[in-house]
Amino acid sequence: MPLTMDTLVSLSKRRGFVFQSSEIYGGTGSVWDYGPLGVELKQNIKRLWWRDFVQMRPDMVGIDAAILMHPNVWRASGHVEQFTDPMVDCRECQHRFRADHVDARPWLHFCPATKGNKFEIAAGEACPRCGARRTLCPDCGKGELTTARNFNLMFKTFMGPVEDDAAVTYLRPETAQAMFVNFENVLQSMRLKLPFGIAQAGRSFRNEITPGNFIFRTREFEQMEIEYFVNPHETVEGRPADEYWHDRWIADCMAWFRRYGLSEGNLRLREHEKDELAHYAKRTLDIEYRFPIGWSELMGIANRTDYDLKQHAKFSGKTLTYFDEERKEHVVPYVIEPAAGVDRALLAFLAEAYQEEEVRGEKRVVLRFHPELAPVKVAVLPLLKKREEIVKTAHGIRSELARHWRVVYDDTAAIGRLYRRQDEVGTPYCVTVDVQTVGDSEKGEQGDQRVTIRDRDSMQQVRVPMRELVPVFQELLTGGDWAAVAGRFGTAAAAAAG
Ligand code: ATP
């Protein structure tokens, strides 16, 4: 059965990944809250992105800018004038649609060929009975749609206590502009040489006309954006530097998503057609993912040329150039912009990880997250919660491992149930403490000080000395191979049903 969005929404709620915002007041479909496991997953995504694209690269630095910016930023960037979507309303049911999305929806049709019976017809298709195409509202099938008018997606707000026009500003609709506005500050304070990039991850806000599809399109979301500045007069491997770096970033971003688990067959590149390109862009590609709603944009990678720096120079009256020592000239760098959505990345990783399988006649739901993404890395489970020694040892292991990773302790069910719970939230490893570990002091029996590690994916178990847990997990959680660890310690006869 193909995975549906409903399955992910319900798992997310049940297991503490994502909740509807303000749910006790009836909720809103346009914003969502991340729960205890969702926040871990989201932080892991941002941390890995930062580690791989900022921390590890000599040519990258980061910033964390304010959400509220000077209103002229949005005049210079073109957002006040042009950050609009065409909107249409139904005259009958008053529903609103993005004009360019209307034909991409299934539509409701009262077919004259069948005495007005009601049918839902697939997006873009004609009625198979009467041949009619959609002209009316896709939702109610009765109302005419108004002509399209432009609707600005920025949230307006007021800076200061006086609600007059002079104080109007906006919640940022993207994080990118802060990198352009801070270009000179970053360049001078860090003494950078082209090419270099500035990265930022943070909240953005868009008053989307039709938000929906869970966390795919919301009105408040997070972005991870990079502005990579290159010298347009340079060539790399015989190509203009901007074109070379654009292709490099496309390849690097694709590789990043694959590295953390998105499969080749669920990823593709889509080049923007000339008539679809933003006015400032020389070339743009989207990385698309096969979400449960079909192929849709996961991130965009645009060559924005020197448009933004020139606009901000014009509006601010400041010089935003780079001095090219070699050519002894001031240049306005070109910009390559890899712009990803944190929430869409999370949705893609969640959808990809989700699997249902049958184990010993029972359904097992498992999230096969890459270990570095998994919200919880290790669960420590006592086999018998009535044995004080076992419980004490398990708590001790949890607090030792928690110095390094997110680790939980759970004794609220029998071991088989506990394993299933951890599978369902994608915990890669469980550690079980049993009688053999601690022995029986009353009988004068010594424990072997070994515990069982159980692997989520293969459900195999190995028995490992307690003192080796930290190095073993250091290996396993940073790309180490389970088979190698299993080979070293030997897979155990199951300590309990896996
Ligand atoms: P779309 O065409 O889906 O509206 P966009 O092309 O306007 O997206 P960009 O401005 O390129 O999006 O923003 C970069 C990334 O930010 C997108 O690829 C997406 O991952 C994320 N993003 C944009 N809008 C939203 C939103 N409303 N909700 C969640 N994520 C979003």
156-206, pLDDT tens digit by residue? 999 988 877 778 999 999 999 999 999 999 999 999 999 999 999 999 999
The pLDDT score that the predictor gives to residue 423 is: 98
Give per-residue pLDDT as tens, 444-465.
Answer: 888 999 999 999 999 999 999 9
Half-sphere exposure of 82 (CA within 13 A, CB side): 7
Cα(105) to ligand 1 centroid in Å equals: 19
pLDDT band at 295 (very low <50, low <70, confident <90, very high): very high
pTM of the full structure: 0.92
Residue 225 CA, closest ligand 1 atom number: 14
Which residues, at least 6 apart from 287, have a Cβ–Cβ distance to it below 8 Å? 250, 253, 254, 257, 267, 268, 269, 297, 298, 299, 300, 301
The pLDDT score that the predictor gives to residue 78 is: 94
Cα(470) to ligand 1 centroid in Å equals: 40
Length of the chain: 498
Cα(386) to ligand 1 centroid in Å equals: 52
% the chain with pLDDT above 70: 99
Q: Name the residue of 18, 87, 213, 223 whose CB sits within 8 Å of the most ligand 1 atoms, as the mutation to test its pocket.
A: 223
> 132 pLDDT exceeds 80?
yes
> Which residue owns the Cα nearest ligand 1 atom 19?
341
Average pLDDT score, the chain: 94
The pLDDT score that the predictor gives to residue 1 is: 79
Cα(297) to ligand 1 centroid in Å equals: 7
User: Which is nearest to 62 in space by CA: 195, 170, 202?
Assistant: 202
The pLDDT score that the predictor gives to residue 186 is: 98
Give per-residue pLDDT as tens, 63-109.
Answer: 999 999 999 999 999 999 999 989 899 999 999 888 988 988 899 99
> Which residue owns the Cα nearest ligand 1 atom 2?
297
Q: Which residues contact ligand 1 via a Cβ below 6 A?
A: 174, 206, 208, 217-218, 221, 223, 297-300, 339-341, 343-344
Mean pLDDT, residues 39-56: 98
> Which residue owns the Cα nearest ligand 1 atom 20?
341
Q: How many CB atoms lie within 10 A of CB 193?
A: 12
Q: Name the residue of 28, 30, 213, 217 whose CB sits within 8 Å of the most ligand 1 atoms, as the mutation to test its pocket.
A: 217
pLDDT band at 496 (very low <50, low <70, confident <90, very high): very low
Cα(298) to ligand 1 centroid in Å equals: 8
DSSP string, 229-292: EE-TT-EETTEEHHHHHHHHHHHHHHHHHHHTT--GGGEEEEEPPGGGS-TT-SEEEEEEEEET
Burial of 272 (0-12, 13-18, 19+ CB in 10 A): middle
Burial of 56 (0-12, 13-18, 19+ CB in 10 A): exposed
> 259 pLDDT exceeds 90?
yes
Look at 50-64, 115-129, 304-318 and tell me which has the smallest mean pLDDT.
115-129
User: Which is nearest to 298 in space by CA: 256, 247, 354, 334?
Assistant: 256
% the chain with pLDDT above 90: 87
pLDDT band at 22 (very low <50, low <70, confident <90, very high): very high
Q: What are phi and psi of 74, to 5 degrees?
A: -80, -20
> 498 pLDDT exceeds 60?
no
Mean pLDDT, residues 373-385: 97
> 47 pLDDT exceeds 50?
yes
The pLDDT score that the predictor gives to residue 493 is: 53
The pLDDT score that the predictor gives to residue 343 is: 98
The pLDDT score that the predictor gives to residue 198 is: 98
> Which residue owns the Cα nearest ligand 1 atom 11?
300
Residue 297 CA, closest ligand 1 atom number: 18
> Which residue owns the Cα nearest ligand 1 atom 18?
299
Q: How many CB atoms lie within 10 A of CB 263?
A: 11
Look at 154-163, 193-202, 282-291, 366-375 and tell me which has the smallest mean pLDDT.
154-163
Mean pLDDT, residues 349-367: 96
Residue 208 CA, closest ligand 1 atom number: 27
Which residues, at least 6 apart from 439, have a Cβ–Cβ distance to it below 8 Å? 389, 445, 446, 447, 448
Residue 223 CA, closest ligand 1 atom number: 16
Element (H, E) at 398: helix 388-401
Cα(341) to ligand 1 centroid in Å equals: 6
The pLDDT score that the predictor gives to residue 492 is: 62
